[in-house]
Amino acid sequence: MLPQPAEFVSLAQQTIKGFLTLLLIFLPIELAFAQRSQPLLRPRLGEDIFYFVLNSIVPKLLITALVGLLLFGMRPLYASGIFHGMASLPLALRVLLAIVVGDIGAYWGHRWSHEWPLLWHFHKIHHQSEAMDWLVTSRAHPLDMVFTRLCGVGLIYLTGLAQGSLGQGSSVMVVYMVLGGFWGYFVHANLNWRFGFLENYIATPAYHHWHHSNGSARSINKNYAAIFPWIDRLFGSLYLPRRSWPQSYGLKVRVNQTTVHS
């Protein structure tokens, strides 16, 4: 069923409110704690605003439809009672597990987007920016954004940490989506903040800026996780110098026959 006009109006209102909220949060702190000096009206700013609007609407509609199909296909599993144990866990524990499981799923979705040429065809749009700030987060092809998010969301449902067809798990998914979404804007932000030993456990701007760097072969195809760098360490894709920052960002030529990167 196609969305009704009222739904599009609601999404448009949410988009405007979301943009203004993020602007009020990140603009002051980026001005106060900028890692790199860059003009407010930087190159491709208009493109990034367009992608923000586009990806505030289209991915939500597609993910809702795809998750609906996933849950429909999982109805026999729900009926079998296989997930009753997960449903009995305390809510706080389910939320914590969902954040970890979702980040592992999103890690592999993101990594595949770099390693598989077809997926890279869409994902490379996100790496075109030669500047880094909070707005770069939304610079992505909608299908690329849907794929990566679905890898995280789908794994949460497949493990039973959220159980949509039983009317359960909405609070779990809300926390995961809100935290993951906000953290995405934070790690892209033009901020010079470092977290010391906590950088081993929590993603920071420095961690994700290295993912976008194009100045060193050592940093190419690294730091895929959205929230937890230890996932990259676990799978051998962590690169995080303690004191240095990337000198440049943007697209780089193909690294080998199967791997491409910014």
Once rounded to an integer, what is the mean pLDDT over residues 1-23? 83
**pLDDT one-digit tens code per residue, 117-130:** 999 999 999 999 99
pTM for the full model?
0.90
How many angstroms separate the CA atoms of 157 and 87, rounded? 11
More confident residue, 87 or 233: 233
The helix/strand/coil state of 213 is: strand
**pLDDT one-digit tens code per residue, 193-225:** 999 999 999 999 999 999 999 977 888 899 999
How many angstroms separate the CA atoms of 104 and 156, rounded? 10
- Residue type, position 136, single letter: V
How many angstroms separate the CA atoms of 50 and 63, rounded? 20
